[in-house]
């Protein structure tokens, strides 16, 4: 029998794999186990002549291979070998959004964020899987050097169950930098909350599962600080949020400076657009746009929309003049699926 890597091999690449070949007879059992007890899955050929691992190896790990084969004469033979995978220059970690157990809105993309630059994008994409029940068509797109997102062709359907696997253990994400762990997340798609903010008419029309359930008077960004047009997705929700204009580059001596705590804040862009309670502008809500770019409404209306919303819900902005920048939030829905999938 031939076992690869050979016994006592060191600095083995995790993606080199483990294989066993029998020149005569049949392989009856192969066990590949890491020092920490992790077992490596594999497939045995129909004729019993070869075995190959199907699960990734981890970097900086020691593995033991135990093989049992049966010769043509019926006599069992066993072979044991040990090898070590290379210790990389660095390890790459990744986080998944949505997190395990979440219920999200119909516009939520799958977001994989790495803690270092990814240069081997094709290898990484092969290690990422999105499985939906019922099945949906979708595609990955890199939104930066450290992030890749997956979106379905159309908005998710309510009730869809989704499983994400980032099988990055043993994947060289950049030269000398390897993934060490496999991440998974299971989440579900909740009710279809899709709101439309008419910037010119100063209204937010809220639809649940296609039916209008509420029309809310709002105010959006005033001239010079206009709210962006486009399809946005709720990124996060906070019952209270401190808004300090200094974080957006406004100096404290500017007449546009503000620093206050708002209620029922739901983030839509990384640049600082939120939907939130703005009791100070109730007189302008439904009549004029007077905010610094956020969508303001009465405290009662903000409490209502907050209670009925979740991360991943869609908020479409229409009849505005300022364009939403690609990547300023979850902006996947502002381009065609063909463009998304073929970037």
Kindly compute the dihedral angle of the four CA atoms of residues 106, 107, 110, 112, in this order, to the nearest 10 degrees.
-150
Catalytic residue among 56, 202, 276, 292: 276
Alpha helices, H only, 16-154: 121-126
Is there a catalytic annotation at residue 292? no
Q: Are 168 and 159 in contact (CB under 8 A)?
A: no
> Contact, 195 vs 233, CB < 8 A?
no
**Residue 321, Cβ neighbours under 10 Å: how many?**
11
Strands 138-144 and 147-152: antiparallel
**What CA–CA distance (Å, rounded) separates 34 from 17?**
13
Rg (CA), the chain: 27
Q: How far is CA 45 from the centre of its chain?
A: 36
Tell me, yes or no, if 294 is annotated catalytic: yes
Sheet holding 90-92, edge to edge: 90-92, 177-179, 172-174
CB 279 within 8 A of CB 264: no
Can you read off the two tokens belonging to residue 325?
């920048």
Answer left, alpha or beta for residue 319, where phi above 0 means left and psi between -120 and 50 means alpha: left
DSSP per-residue string spanning 196-249: EEETTTTEEEEEETTEEEEEEE-B-BPTTSPPEEEEEE--EEEEEEEEEGGGGT
Nearest by Cα to 78 from 33, 25, 12, 42: 25
> Which one of 56, 294, 308, 319 is the catalytic residue?
294
* Residues with active-site annotation: 276, 294
């Amino acid at each position: 029998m031939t076992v690869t890597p050979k016994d006592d091999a060191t600095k083995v690449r995790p993606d080199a794999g483990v294989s066993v070949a029998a020149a005569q007879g049949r392989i009856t059992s192969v066990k590949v186990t890491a020092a920490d007890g992790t077992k490596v899955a594999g497939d045995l050929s129909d004729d019993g002549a070869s075995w190959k691992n199907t699960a990734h190896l981890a970097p900086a790990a020691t593995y033991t291979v135990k093989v049992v084969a049966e010769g043509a004469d019926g006599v069992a033979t066993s072979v044991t070998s040990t090898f070590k995978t290379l210790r990389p220059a660095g390890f790459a970690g990744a986080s998944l959004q949505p997190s395990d157990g979440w219920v999200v809105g119909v516009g939520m993309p799958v977001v994989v964020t790495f803690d270092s630059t990814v240069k081997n994008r094709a290898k990484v994409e092969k290690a990422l899987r999105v499985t939906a029940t019922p099945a949906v068509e979708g595609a990955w797109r890199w939104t930066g050097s450290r992030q890749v997102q997956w979106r379905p062709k159309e908005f998710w359907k309510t009730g869809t169950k989704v499983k994400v696997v980032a099988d990055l253990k043993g994947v060289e994400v950049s030269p000398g930098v390897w993934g060490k762990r496999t991440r998974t997340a299971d989440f579900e798609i909740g009710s279809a909350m899709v709101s439309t903010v008419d910037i010119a008419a100063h209204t937010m029309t809220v639809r649940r599962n296609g039916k209008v359930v509420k029309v809310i008077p709002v105010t959006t960004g005033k001239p010079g600080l206009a709210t962006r047009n486009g399809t946005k997705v709720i990124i996060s929700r906070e019952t209270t949020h401190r808004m300090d204009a200094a974080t957006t580059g406004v100096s404290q001596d500017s007449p546009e400076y503000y620093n206050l705590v708002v209620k029922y804040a739901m983030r839509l862009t990384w640049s600082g657009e939120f939907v939130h309670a703005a009791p100070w502008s109730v007189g302008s809500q439904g009549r004029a746009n007077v905010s610094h770019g956020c969508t303001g409404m009465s405290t009662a209306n903000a409490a209502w929309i907050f209670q009925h919303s979740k991360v991943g819900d869609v908020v479409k902005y229409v009849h505005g003049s300022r364009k939403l920048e690609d990547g300023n939030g979850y902006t996947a829905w502002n381009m065609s699926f063909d463009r998304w999938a073929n970037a």
